[in-house]
Structure 1
């Protein structure tokens, strides 16, 4: 099939659609915005999503996903054989390879859909393009990643999306509310203490000054979230600030519990991370601290005006570890800059 000769495909009214997006939580949180337009155009569609274990609980929350296939990375030959069988069993008529790596391209090819849609060769990696037979057009590197994903809809015959929705807006999350947090909690802020990149993490002193002001000037309750790697910072903040209005949930929540906590908050603060893009999917304001990555590309949906970024020439560098400048892009962000963005939220 000549991908350059075909701008749209013709699908049955109840197509089986395979979506492949396994990687980062932030990418998955943006990818789910494709689901409401797809289900609106094809109400009888059956959507199967391929994901890795880290993001599985989040994907399983979504009411528009009919089946979840989990790839156990590191599981050896048996894991590969298992997912190959599962992919073939889907019998998809179209696959959407949103991952753009070798592995996702291989999975799309093994699934055997008639239409295998992927990124253009210029925008993919590891020969991913070679596994797919339809490709979206190349785009500028600073195009927002969500906008890039939405280009896949055009090939499905969905040319216009009047209102961006994630499909999570009306989801009942009450059963996931953590027991250690009072159920009627109001006027609270969720503070994300880090990300998977060391270079994106803000200084502990910055968090200290910010939280102190949120407690004293704004009378907020502050909930600290993050994974096990952020518990040391959280413990230090708890010991220094000594307030009953700080709740430490770092390393203590499941993904569904985190989503439930996030949806009820006034706003969030944190680096460019997975929770930031879940906030975008929930419609929650997120003050995002940008350093090594570009807000033009990855600012959470609806929160571009809440970006805080220091004016250093080496940003964005897209390095997971700062190459010798001691994270100057993050060090120069002050608590006062963040508080200025919080006014009125």
Structure 2
């Protein structure tokens, strides 16, 4: 507000008011006097702050007989206006260069030993350079380097410190102890960072142009820093970094289903590898937060708030963490609304034909010819991220829990004589989707066969609380203690530890199957109505998919049509009856 009124009132100031508007400090006058006496050209980089317009009085109010001083300002000339033969002089003695085509004239101006004031936040045109500020890649106009290349000059920083209403002191400082001729923007930024960290006085009036963080004009290279390779190498040498600081805040809204969460994890890793400066934060269901923290594929994990009356208020509060971008791994408009509330400048997602995602800023448009029956869903996910610049290969090697995140393995707590024998895991339910489940009586017959084939093994049932009924139905058919039931009694990390102890896991198509596959456990997946071409487990762990005899590879049959010999054959292929491993 004060700045806007100043620009309106400034032309009407009398001489006395002009004298009081800008007062050079004694140290600044002394420093500039040395350059006047040495007749050296000087580039004064003007810090963007609320008082910067006062520098129009720099030559008038300096108690020195300075050379002519020019000032560069953002393009103010109409593009239809013909170019002028020479820059104009304003009423306070500054020579004004007010368009891009006058930069060569500014260079000639410096060559003659004169001085130039150049705002550090000069408008960014299409042709821009990259730099680092506050440990972040940022856009910058390369004008200062262009001016420096024109002549051997002194480079100084200039700023105005507010001391009263429409009054300030003029400060001029060296940006480096050594003479600066190259990497000017880096040196200036280092000086600026120190000033910003010195105290509240300087930062209170500083103006950072928000578009400086938008280093990618196009969304198509958002995940790719290859264009910044040169400036990254310069920054590493100048700052002594081994790797880039992770200061670009990329958030990812994870799916709500365990199977999809597991399959998206390799893509999270790829985003972090592709965008070397990304601090990756996962926003996920609280039930799966411990798993994502334990596999350590991201820098942070945030829990989705409980859906109660304060649900949206909690998402609004997340705005204070200022994510730069959010990638949607969900397809729902509800999740899009969440990301819109968080208010990240860029929100990415997948849009299928015939659907609308108006709350996202950038969408990957799925080809109308895409046939999900004939392609795995991860192929689409890969195209999605590549369309926004992903430039690394996806790694489907199995995951592991990071040290310090292991929990007590429930299988090691069995109070039986056989607790040290091998384990076979069985997931007989599929949450609330009974149509995907092999019938309970089939499981009973299958388990009885396993007891004959692997007499020294422990058979363990796993699942969620939604699978309790089917597990009880199965257990009732056997002698007490012959099967160990962990259905609904493990949290996610206990479930992982138990799965990792198993020689093999046999499961319906559900999240547990994908989790076993992700953790490197050999698994047999029973697919009836669902399509394994589109949804089969993706990690490189041993996996066998069993479908009903005669079923198309795209699925569509009832799981009742899966025969016992098929499943026994798949298990024997992974774990021969004479070679079952013992943990």
Specify the TM-score bucket, using the shorter chain as the normaliser: 0.7 to 0.9
| Structure 2 residue 572 is the aligned partner of structure 1 residue 343 | yes
Deviations 1:46-72 (A, max 9, x none): 221112233333333232333333223
Q: 2:323 aligns with which of 85, 92, 114?
A: 92
Deviations 1:173-215 (A, max 9, x none): 6423126337974521110021121211111111111111111
Task: Encode CA deviations 1:210-261: one digit per residue, 9 max, x unaligned.
Answer: 1111111123321101122322332333332226452111111111100111
1:210 to 420, 424, 446: 446
Which residue is equivalent to 1:325? none
Structure 1 match to 2:12: none
Find the counterpart in structure 1 of residue 407 from structure 2.
175
Looking at structure 1, the residues matched to 414 and 268 of structure 2 have their Cα atoms a distance apart, in angstroms, of 32
Partner of 1:7: 220
Larger-gyration structure (1/2)? 2
Task: Identify if the C-alpha distance between structure 1 residues 180 and 136 changes in structure 2 by more than 3 Å, giving closer, same or farther.
Answer: farther
Output the CA distance in 1 between the equivalents of 2:358 and 2:477: 52
Asked whether the 8 Å contact 2:294–2:401 carries over to 1, the reply is no
Greater shift after overlay, 149-158 or 193-202? 149-158
Is residue 520–residue 541 contact of structure 2 (8 Å, CA) maintained in 1?
no
Distance 1:271 1:20, change over 3 A: same
Task: Report the number of matched residues.
Answer: 329
- Of stretches 96-105 and 52-61 in structure 1, the one that deviates more from structure 2 is 52-61
Separation (CA, whole Å) in 1 of partners of 2:362 and 2:394: 29
**Cα distance in 1, alignment partners of residues 377 and 278 from structure 2:** 25
Matches of 2:542 and 2:534, distance apart in 1? 10
Greater Cα shift, 36-45 or 207-216: 36-45
Is the aligned partner of 1:189 residue 2:402? no
CA distance in 2, matches of 1:30, 1:129: 26
Residues 285-339 of structure 1 show CA distances to partners (whole Å, capped at 9, x for unaligned) of: 22111122110111112479611112458x746xxxxxxxxxx611111222111
**Which residue of 56, 71, 78 corresponds with 2:304?**
71
Between the two structures, name the one with larger relative contact order (CA 8 Å, sep ≥ 6): 1
C-alpha change, 1:238 and 1:172, in structure 2 (3 Å) is farther
Aligned pairs for 1:265-276 (under 5 A) are 265-276=502-513
The alpha-carbon deviation at position 157 of structure 1 amounts to 3.5
Give the corresponding residue for 2:364: 135
- Aligned pairs (5 A) from 1:118-267: 118-122=349-353, 127-128=356-357, 130-135=359-364, 137-138=366-367, 139-142=370-373, 143-155=375-387, 157-161=389-393, 163-165=395-397, 167-168=399-400, 174-178=406-410, 180-181=413-414, 185-196=420-431, 197-219=433-455, 220-242=457-479, 244-267=481-504
Contact conserved, 1:226 with 1:249, CA < 8 A, in 2? yes
- TM-score normalised by structure 1 residue count: 0.83
Q: More displaced, 256-265 or 232-241?
A: 232-241
Matched, 1:290 2:527: yes
More displaced stretch, 36-45 vs 91-100:
36-45
2:515 to 278, 303, 306: 278
**Contact 2:270 2:395 (C-alpha < 8 Å) held by counterparts:** no
Structure 1 residues 133 and 163, CA gap change in structure 2 (3 angstroms): closer
Residue 476 of structure 2 aligns to a residue whose secondary structure is: helix
- Equivalence for 1:320: none
SS of the equivalent of 1:128 reads: coil
Considering fraction of residues, name the structure with more strand: 2
**What displacement does 1:84 show?**
2.4
Where 1:175 maps in the other structure, the secondary structure is coil
Q: Hey, what's the Cα distance between the residues in 1 that align with 2:406 and 2:471?
A: 26
Deviates most, 90-99 or 154-163: 154-163
Deviations 1:123-165 (A, max 9, x none): x85x336523142643431322233333344245333316423
* 2:336 alignment partner in structure 1: 105
